[in-house]
Amino acid sequence: MRQSCRMAAPSNIIALVVAAGRGTRARTASAGPKQYARLGDTTVLAKGLKTLLAHDKITSVFVVIHADDRALYDTALGELSAHPKLHAPVTGGATRQQSVLAGLEALKPIAPTHVLIHDAARPFVSAPVIDRVLAALETSSGAIAALPLADTLKRAGANDRIAATIARDGLWRAQTPQGFRFSGILAAHLAAAAAGRFDFTDDAAVAEAQGLAVQLVAGDTANIKLTTAEDMTMVERTASGQAVPDIRTGQGFDVHRFTSGDHVMLCGVRVPHTHGVEAHSDGDVGLHALTDALLGAIADGDIGQHFKNTDPRWRGAASDQFLADAVRRVTVLGGRIGNVDVTILSEAPKIAPHRDAMRQRMAEILGIPVARVGLKATTTEQMGFTGRREGLAALAVATVIF
Ligand code: MG
């Protein structure tokens, strides 16, 4: 609880970063302990350190590492190791608690007023979280970043049957940094060690055991502790931009000239008309433009390349098979069609009476909901070849999501 007496504001503040863990739950063959893993253009350890080193109230930073990890540490820090506020690393102990004690012992000659203990596996610590912990230390011997529980808690009984629901009122999840008056937390750790207790899971628990007041302040949901291999995969994807879907767009355009006949095929629908169109296939400008849009999105040539107009197999062919082939090509590459949009340029025939049937037919061929199939039509104000009723044209765009 917050103490009523006002204490001296933190003045000489050292950040102690605990990086000695073996990270067995997140360990990968390539990365070793997770604190040394790559994170975008930096590493897990370096990212958190940069935030701490940049904070103007933190006078210096010490890192506690495992005795075997000096080479990993040097590689992970790169030129950051020359930062004037960063001290040479301290060798930790067998457990996190022992590593923190080793770090605190190393600070004794400096005798800071306060220490902020932070886990290297929380690279997303932010300056506002640090500020809140430091502000609370003005009136409390200890303060930690933490978040109130949002999820309902269940206690499991036999065979994972729920034995009880735990009231979550007043329950918080502890994060780091955890800040303390240096003399108080050092004494608390020494007392715990003297009593042979090495089962504390954070420094606040060590402090609480000695009766120190520790204040909860708001942490940050982004300030996650990288624990499992899944956590690492998630942040690596985020850091490399792979969390943003790979969305590609293609466009298509097609024209066919009117000739004698009594109907045209448009967007897979037979539309009665005073003319037909000249074409090797059924001459469906809507489906041809749409096929090219899909092929364009995956940069796989065009309809004429895949279905040559000299090939007798495609004489009078229904154009739905061209579109279905483009869908197949998208699917083979692992793509998924996001949406399509087709515009028909026509003085006649009128498109509106057939619009719903055309959208339905294209949705069927594409295998996507009709809500993702746009269809519009326009005249060209009696200008140009479509305006002179010499033929039909169509434009199409398509998005493909990987
Ligand atoms: Mg064509």
pLDDT tens per residue across span 341-358 = 999 999 999 999 999 999
User: How far is the C-alpha of 380 from the C-alpha of 389, rounded, in Å?
Assistant: 10
**Cα of 254 to ligand 1 centre, how many Å?**
5
Cα 308 to ligand 1 centre (Å): 11
How much distance in Å is there from the Cα of 393 to the middle of ligand 1? 9
CA 356–ligand 1 middle distance (angstroms): 22
**Distance between Cα 401 and ligand 1 center (Å):** 26
- Which region among 104-118, 188-202, 305-319 has the lowest average model confidence (pLDDT)? 305-319
Q: How confident is the model at residue 2 (pLDDT cuts 50, 70, 90)?
A: very low
pLDDT in the model for residue 230? 80
pLDDT value at position 161? 96
For residue 363, how far is its CA from the centre of ligand 1 (angstroms)? 20
Over residues 114-133, mean pLDDT: 97
Q: Give me the pLDDT at residue 25, please.
A: 56
Phi, psi of 271 (to 5 degrees): -120, 115
% helix / strand / coil in the chain, to the nearest 5? Answer: 35, 30, 40
Average per-residue pLDDT for the chain: 92
| pLDDT of 158 over the 50 cut | yes
For the record, the structure tokens of 22 come out as 């073996």
Residues constituting the chain: 402
At residue 33 the predicted structure's pLDDT band, cuts being 50, 70 and 90, is: confident
Distance 333 CA to ligand 1 centre (A): 25
pLDDT for residue 394 is more than 50: yes
Q: How far is the CA of 370 from the centre of ligand 1 (A)?
A: 23
Determine the distance separating the centroid of ligand 1 and the alpha carbon of 255, expressed in angstroms: 6
- pLDDT surpassing 80 at residue 317: yes
Q: 203 and 100 in contact (C-beta within 8 Å)? A: yes
Distance 25 CA to ligand 1 centre (A): 57
Helices and strands, counts by H and E, the chain: 12, 18
Local confidence band at 315 (pLDDT 50, 70, 90 cut-offs): confident
Q: Is the pLDDT at 243 greater than 60, yes or no?
A: no
Specify burial of residue 309 (Cβ count, 10 A radius: 0-12, 13-18, 19+).
exposed
Q: Which residues does residue 38 pair with via DSSP β-bridges, in sequence order?
A: 43
Joined tokens for residue 119: 């886990």
Banded model confidence at residue 1, pLDDT cuts 50, 70, 90: very low
Lowest mean pLDDT, pick from 23-37, 117-131, 247-261: 23-37
Alpha carbon of 251 to ligand 1 centroid (Å): 14
